[in-house]
Amino acid sequence: MDKVKVGIIGCGVAADTHIRELIKFENLELRAFFDIDHTKAKSLALKVGGTAFSCLNDFLKEKLDAVYICTPPNTHAKLIQRVANKNFAIFVEKPLDTNVKRAEEIVKLVERKRIINQIGFNFRFASNVLKVKELARKMKLKFRFFHASWLGSLPQLPKWWKSYRITGGMINEQTSHLFDLIRFVVGEVNEVFCERKRLFYKLNNFTNEDTIIAILKLQDGSYGSIVASCGAHFTRSLGFAEYIPFWHTQYIGCVFLTKELTFELLGTSKLILNDGRRRIEYENFRSTYLEEDRAFLNSILKNKESPVPFREGLKTLYVIDAAKKSSKVRKFVKVRKSD
């Protein structure tokens, strides 16, 4: 193919974030846009070219190679099914869905139809994260403990972000990045204990938790914790390689402990190594969105599996589902194993 022809479903902030990167690829054409708010689709089409559609059926009649789904989480499975019926390659923003059963069905669907698919866990493409994995592999280090945190103010997102019904909770929305990051760097989770609370926002239209604390036991015997809250206030974001307009003040940090080294990650670009005697800093500003879009495009051009297929999103969803159940029964819950 001369150019990969791409369509976008959902023309809000997430779509705009990807489009800023997609327009950098000469072998890609943004051809079609659809949003239930037609003015958003028209705005993007006017900005970068292509056609804005007010009807999803008409959008799906376009000659496309791939579709990006950048809509609220509870719409993902249904839209993936519609797009998969056209055999287009599919990129979906995280999480895979709000419902485990629906997520399992779409994984089976895309795998049965051999459709190239990728989920948007962009932290897997961060330069500092990849450096940790590289050094741990080369030095044959075993992670024994970890701590990951995401602290920020309430994101300037559409009203749907505040709805548990639509998002599956803050734990399933942005905090899913941290659960997936632990799986990617350290390994698979065996059990999880979790507390989810509303400590800051007692609003009628806010049905999500705003604070999360989780303890994870991994299959390899390592332990760790995840904390997240949107009740924090900072004057600037730390360590980010990309502009994220809706998380204007935030701290994302991870610490990974081995017997030999401590790895500290700040955002998506900075890494600090410490062995108790010396401290070494790495910093490499590189857009994780650019890299994940590049990976998806290469998968299409080479007709190969993407580095973060839907099945990875399903495995992360299993961990989050166990965490949700734990917060109800107030004890450790085992994570379901992937088939």
Contacts for 197 with CB less than 8 Å, ≥ 6 apart: 209, 210, 211, 212
Q: pLDDT at residue 240 above 90? A: no
Q: Which residues have a Cβ under 8 Å from the Cβ of 77 and sit 6 or more positions away?
A: 96, 97, 99, 102, 103, 105, 106
How far apart (Å, rounded) are the C-alpha atoms in residues 60 and 83? 7
Q: What is the mean pLDDT of residues 150-157?
A: 77
**Dist CA 118 CA 180 (whole Å):** 14
Q: Which domains can be identified in the chain, with CATH numbers?
A: 4-122+290-308 (3.40.50.720), 123-286+319-334 (3.30.360.10)
Rg (CA), the chain: 20
Indicate the residue type of 101. K
Q: In what order do the strands lie in the sheet with 250-257?
A: 279-283, 270-274, 262-266, 250-257, 145-152, 223-229, 211-218, 189-197, 333-334
| Sign (positive or negative) of CA dihedral 280, 258, 177, 174 | negative
Q: Is the pLDDT of residue 243 over 80?
A: no
Q: According to the model, what pLDDT value does residue 232 have? A: 83
What is the pLDDT at residue 159? 82
What angle separates helix 13-22 from helix 288-302, to the nearest 10 degrees? Answer: 70
Express each pLDDT in 29-43 by its tens digit: 999 999 999 999 999
Q: Which residues pair with 192 in a beta bridge?
A: 216, 333
Q: What is the pLDDT of residue 296?
A: 98
Q: Is the dihedral of CA 181, 125, 86, 83 positive or negative?
A: positive
Rounded to an integer, the average pLDDT of 105-132 is 97
For residue 153, give both structure tokens. Answer: 């103010």
Sign of CA dihedral 186, 170, 79, 100: positive
| Other C-beta atoms lying within 10 Å of the C-beta of residue 214 | 27
Helix (H) or strand (E) holding 33: strand 28-34
- pLDDT tens digits for range 172-220: 998 999 999 999 999 999 999 999 999 998 777 889 999 999 999 999 9
Q: Given this model, what pLDDT does residue 284 score?
A: 81
- Rounded to an integer, the average pLDDT of 76-84 is 98
For 9, the enclosing helix (H) or strand (E) is strand 4-9
CA-CA distances (angstroms) from residue 18 to 12, 112, 213?
Answer: 10, 28, 30
Residue 109 parent element (H or E): helix 100-112
Q: Name the pLDDT band for 279 (thresholds 50, 70, 90).
A: very high
